[in-house]
């Protein structure tokens, strides 16, 4: 993300060369791709000055994140301990640094654990517009209750068809439901207990006429 930020932040257009983007090679022999998430904002404003927040917690302490929508929550508590994040450097006194942003008003989210159903609903006169979706796992704490560590360890799990699948079932509808399961999205990381996260908004229903 920092590479995209350094080269693209504040520009109307930009280009990225993926050659040598990651050193060392994260998966030798595999043909890889680079994904960038971005939004367009009015000129003169900076995305991070609007939304990004930063929090540092010393080892053994608790980090408290708060905003109108924090990954589906208004606030959350994170414990900075190796029992949750494992120990990356034994004998070193560590800290937990978290960068996060609060979704702007009007953007809603839904998060359900694997085998559960996500139900999206908009008010009368509006329909669903999907911003992003992922079936997988990007942290070790979400949907972790009662799960063994082995099912929570992989935190770079993304189902590549998440957005397409959710949009095909929900885009332009007033309400929809979708099951968070391998049968719907396929299994992006075998042995990992997954969850489905969706960000969406309710937009005015537009009727277009062709002449």
183-201: per-residue pLDDT in tens? 999 999 999 999 999 999 9
Residue-wise pLDDT tens digits, 23-49: 567 677 777 776 666 666 555 444 444
Residue-wise pLDDT tens digits, 76-134: 777 888 777 778 888 888 888 877 766 655 788 899 999 999 999 999 889 999 999 99
Question: Which CATH superfamily hosts domain 106-205?
Answer: Rhamnose-binding lectin domain (RBL) (2.60.120.740)
Q: Is 44 strand, coil or helix?
A: coil
How many angstroms separate the CA atoms of 160 and 150, rounded?
A: 22
How many angstroms separate the CA atoms of 127 and 130, rounded?
A: 10
The DSSP annotation for 149-180 comes to GGGT----EE-TTHHHHHHHHHTT-SEEEEE-
One-letter-per-residue 3-state SS of 80-141:
CCHHHHCCCCCCCCCEEEEEEECCCCCEEEEEEECCCEEEEECCCCEEEEEEEEEEEECCCC
The pTM for the full model equals 0.55
**Backbone φ and ψ of 43, nearest 5°:** -60, 140
Sequence spans of domains, the chain: 1-50, 53-105, 106-205
pLDDT for 144: 92
**Backbone φ and ψ of 27, nearest 5°:** -155, 85
Bridge partners, 58 (sequence order) = 95
């Amino acid at each position: 993300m920092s590479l995209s930020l350094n080269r693209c932040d504040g520009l109307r257009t930009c280009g990225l060369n993926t050659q040598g983007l990651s050193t060392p090679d994260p998966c030798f022999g595999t043909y890889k791709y680079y994904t960038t998430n971005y939004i367009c904002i009015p000129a003169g404003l900076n995305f991070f000055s609007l939304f990004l927040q930063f929090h540092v917690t010393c080892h053994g302490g608790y980090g408290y994140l708060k905003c109108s929508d924090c990954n589906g929550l208004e606030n959350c508590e994170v414990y900075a301990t190796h029992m949750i994040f494992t120990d990356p450097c034994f004998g070193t006194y560590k800290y937990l640094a978290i960068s996060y942003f609060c979704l702007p008003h009007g953007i809603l989210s839904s998060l359900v654990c694997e085998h559960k159903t996500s139900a999206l609903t908009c008010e009368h006169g509006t329909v669903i517009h999907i911003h992003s979706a992922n079936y997988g796992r990007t942290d070790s704490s979400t949907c972790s209750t009662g799960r063994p560590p082995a099912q929570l360890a992989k935190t770079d799990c993304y189902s590549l068809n998440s957005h397409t699948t959710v949009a095909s079932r929900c885009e332009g509808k007033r309400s929809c439901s979708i099951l968070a399961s391998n049968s719907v999205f396929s299994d992006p990381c075998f042995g990992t207990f997954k969850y489905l996260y969706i960000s969406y908004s309710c937009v005015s229903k537009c009727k277009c006429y062709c002449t």
